[in-house]
Chain A
């Protein structure tokens, strides 16, 4: 990450209760990271931390908050800059930290001058008094931590949002201290690990750049046949476009369901259709296997060994409880076998433990991580040597990149804003009982009993205007498609906002979402698109 030099939760779950103030923005923590939210609740109830929740919806966490900033979806940047403005104005910032550990402060400060409370209030819909109060709470309680999730990143300005969060934490000297930090909550169980392991087009494992000749040579020495270029590869969104115009002919998908999880699904279906050869490796048939030429059956988490890395960079073991059913095999075995058949050397792994030993050799941040050391509490990276105890808090005394960098960032509207034809804003997310595209949880009877179907959340004032009652069938229409589902009328979303999940294939919100992406992070703008809502007659 360009502000500090690495992109992960800077602090640990264990030090949340040391925070005096917590800002939770764009994270529905009680539903998405339920057990971590218990620590936030404990910090508030038992240790008196002051919690500020910034979210366009009145999520459960607001019940524990001293203040709820219910800003309009897609106005996070203005809100964050507005908080910085007040902190600077009232001299609540940590001048010593700023002078000793950061750069570019004066230049950044000049840009924040453009965000006085009056303007910010007009953009975000947050009352001026609340804005000032929030800035005072975050600015004058030390240590203070910030938590965020996809509510911040799934916008065309997602990477600027993250920088704005980092600016705020540096301004108040909340980096490198217990109870402080910038804490992105990672969604999937091993999204942190998949990034760490180089499941990204621009970096090898451990965030080692593909542009670095020495790094490329190091990896080529291990498994030698391919000679990848010095230029980064394609992101998912770009792969799909490349499949559409024939530049990508073959695709290999392991444990993902892009036909359902990616924005503008109907377009994704066309892309998958055009592929000459598609291999899908998964535990269940899903919307994506429909397009596959070969399907490979994989073992599930309880049928194999290995490690997951959690949101606080903790590498932990999974253990085999059952034999893989039928002729299914663990993914690592399937991939190694394929590599051997393609003539590659060095894929004779006998166990995941042996693979981790190789990872440790080529990945400095995992240099001291071996399965034998992970019994008990696991280890938090960076863990460079076999004796290293792991790192609970990043950036203590010094940032990974040296000095922390203040980055000027400016408010801009979402690409698709409500207009007369599509007057409502749609935002998407998940609920407690289901997981992502539902491949797993929709096959658990108890969870389906509690949450059997999609319910579109709509504010009572909007429902009344449209003549919609709770439980009515409604149609949600965007420029890309239309979905029919039942309404849940209550005051959780702010007026003008409707909310849907992406758990239910029969009412799939990603038919509606916009596939425009942040130009830097390439994250699609799931959190904002324009829709119209109408009662569905006779559905």
Chain B
């Protein structure tokens, strides 16, 4: 007898790789994706996926994932709390802005992040720091 896995649940989402935006269903069991299928009715991909969309999600559980903030101390990146990390950034940003003004900052938005995240980042750069020095890898 072969045990047949039944999904605990299925989550419809958008593939994180290229710009086609294939719709895919993640079949989840025991906190893992054990199968990926694609809806036939999706206008972007009509049930198709490429090798990355179908099989390329194992990185989510890779042991290399960053799991905690890091701060460089004496040349080494060491584990820190969110409070320590954000306080460090806040203090440094305030000091550099006071000394050199907003254009001493540069921000990289991301073609991998969501619209909402890119919106918040450009708002942070433009309306909080006060610089238009924001760009991302559209050109690369």
Contacts and interface: CB of A to CB of B under 8 A. Distances in A.
Tell whether A and B belong to one assembly. yes
Interface of A: 12-14, 32-36, 38, 153-154, 185-202, 204-205, 210, 219-220, 222-229, 231-237, 239, 242-243, 247-256, 258, 261-262, 276-277, 279, 282-285, 289, 292-298, 300-304, 306-312, 314-322, 325-332, 335-339, 341-342, 344, 347, 349, 352, 355-356, 358-359, 377, 432-433, 435, 439-441, 443-447, 450, 517, 521-524, 526
Given A188-B18, A284-B59, 8 more contacts: A186-B19, A228-B130, A250-B93, A293-B72, A295-B77, A304-B114, A308-B21, A356-B115
Contacts of A233: 103, 131-135
Interface residues of B, number: 94
Nearest to A298: B66
A355 B58 contact: no
27 contacts: A34-B18, A188-B19, A188-B137, A189-B18, A194-B110, A198-B118, A223-B127, A226-B131, A233-B132, A236-B135, A250-B105, A252-B105, A256-B137, A277-B92, A282-B66, A284-B66, A297-B67, A302-B11, A310-B20, A310-B44, A327-B67, A338-B124, A342-B94, A355-B120, A445-B58, A450-B51, A523-B140
Nearest to B23: A316
B5 interface: no
Contacts of B51: 34, 432-433, 447, 450
- Which of A13, A194, A283, A318 has the most C-beta atoms of chain B within 10 angstroms of its own C-beta? A194
A293 B115 CA distance: 26
A527 to B, nearest CB: 12
Interface string B93-118: 11010001011111111111111111
Interface in B4-35: 11-23, 26, 28, 31, 33
A306 B13 CA distance: 10
Contacts of B108: 236, 251-256, 258
A296 B117 contact: no
B90 interface: yes
Given A35-B49, A189-B16, A447-B56, A284 B64 contact: yes
Nearest to B100: A249
Given A233-B133, A317-B13, A441-B59, A524 B140 contact: yes
A475 B11 CA distance: 46
Contacts of A190: 19, 110-115, 118
B118 A194 contact: yes
B102 A234 contact: no
B25 to A, nearest CB: 10
Contacts of B129: 226, 342
Nearest to B92: A277
A410 B107 CA distance: 35
Contacts of B55: 444, 446-447
A226 to B, nearest CB: 3
A344 B127 CA distance: 8
Contact of B65 (A33, A284, A435, A526): A284
B114 A352 contact: yes
A388 to B, nearest CB: 17
A197 B119 contact: yes
A32 B18 CA distance: 7
B77 A352 contact: no
B115 A338 contact: no
Contacts of A312: 21, 44
B58 A311 contact: no
B110 A441 contact: no
B115 A255 contact: no
A34 B50 contact: yes
B14 A200 contact: no
- Which of A191, A225, A304, A450 has the most C-beta atoms of chain B within 10 angstroms of its own C-beta? A191
Nearest to B129: A226
Given A224-B127, A321-B28, A236 B16 contact: no
Contacts of A524: 139-140
